[in-house]
Structure 1
């Protein structure tokens, strides 16, 4: 409110006025202005890059435990409750089926062992037939009928095979027993389907033997089995030279 208080000054009428408290003007130095600006920028930057709480955590405010002023709060993080599952006692886990693996000896291993059983396995390997006990047995019996166990490697031609041996009627020879195994497998594949079927099945030495008797491999047909022994065949090792070693 303004109140008139007339006074006389040099013949003029003047009025003095009562005015409220004068405004205080705060003047900041250049250094203070810069400091204030930097502080404001830091506050904005801190707010913009502050990480958020993980989605799975819940933050609530609880009274501070450091003083009596309950208006001061501090953050408390509540973790999700653990989950549990109940399974009926009658539930039975299904059986697990695992693949089986088998290993067979390689050519060099068979040659190093060097027995008539190893040569039989080499024929089966070259022909792509399974190396079952029944297949090895029938080949050992066949080799015995052709040359006999004591010198089954005679002329490096255990089955007296004429194919690739350079001699008719199976009287030829091969450079090594490895060559003999390859030619025996090839000859069977090229013209003896009954024997091949028996070796492919690999389940019966007797069934494969009957296919051998019925085939033209031997002109005598082994007397239809009368000249064929099923007794155990002795395992004999051939000289390393016969294997090409």
Structure 2
């Protein structure tokens, strides 16, 4: 039985392996099937490419995702904010600032206005126009505008000048400014100090100095006090120690 099966498989292999004689085809006949197969392959490639393009998603403008559209509906709950009727809007504060002038700049300027500002800087009082106006009027009552630097003591200050009743002198106008501020803040002139700290009224500060013990005459309580416009006059460089 096994010998019969082996002989049958060998006969079958022999039949398959035996070449079959077929008539030869011409070159044109052999080329036709290949051309048809190439044309069919090209057609399938084009169709596949078109199908891929049709299925590919179009790019979003600007790189935005589809769900990030501006007109997308809001999915959360809408909240309402109620404000009580008695609540008022907060008041916006507009602060006023005055630039701080350096002492070296004032010394370089060298005028009576510069010295008045130097006293204010030494006392850390605001450099307002009202404070400067008061200082200029006060200096004019003490020494006169044309010689305001007399004895380097524009306010005839006795503190630190070595002379009683304000008749002393200082090495320079710089020391004079320091001691003037120190005397006004010594506690003997609290009303003048407070008025300068406010810096909003030259007349109010003048009334404070009239009522004080700075001058025995009290400036006639205003009758010897001039409010005319002040002149800007420069002192000699030596008075400033320059």
Q: Deviations over 1:79-101 (max 9, x none)?
A: 4254269xxxxxxxxxx988775
Is residue 142 of structure 1 aligned with residue 155 of structure 2? no
- Cα offset for 1:71? 8.1
Task: Please point out which of 103, 107, 111 is paired with 1:107.
Answer: 103
The 1:119–1:17 alpha-carbon spacing in structure 2 relative to 1, beyond 3 Å, is: farther
Is residue 80 of structure 1 aligned with residue 37 of structure 2? no
Richer in helix (by share)? 2
The 1:97–1:197 alpha-carbon spacing in structure 2 relative to 1, beyond 3 Å, is: closer
Give distance in 2, aligned partners of 1:188 and 1:131.
Answer: 16
What pairs up with 1:164-203 in 2 under 5 angstroms? Answer: 164-190=160-186, 191-203=188-200
Q: Tell me the matched-pair count.
A: 182
**TM-score scaled by structure 1?**
0.66
Q: Deviations over 1:36-94 (max 9, x none)?
A: xxxxxxxxxxxxxxxxxxxxxxxxxxxxxx82226852544444254269xxxxxxxxx
**TM-score scaled by structure 2?**
0.67
Alignment partner, residue 223 of structure 2: 226
Is residue 205 of structure 1 aligned with residue 202 of structure 2? yes
Alignment partner, residue 68 of structure 1: 47
Richer in strand (by share)? 1
Q: Cα RMSD between the aligned structures?
A: 2.9
Show structure 1 runs of 5+ residues with no match: 8-14, 23-65, 86-95
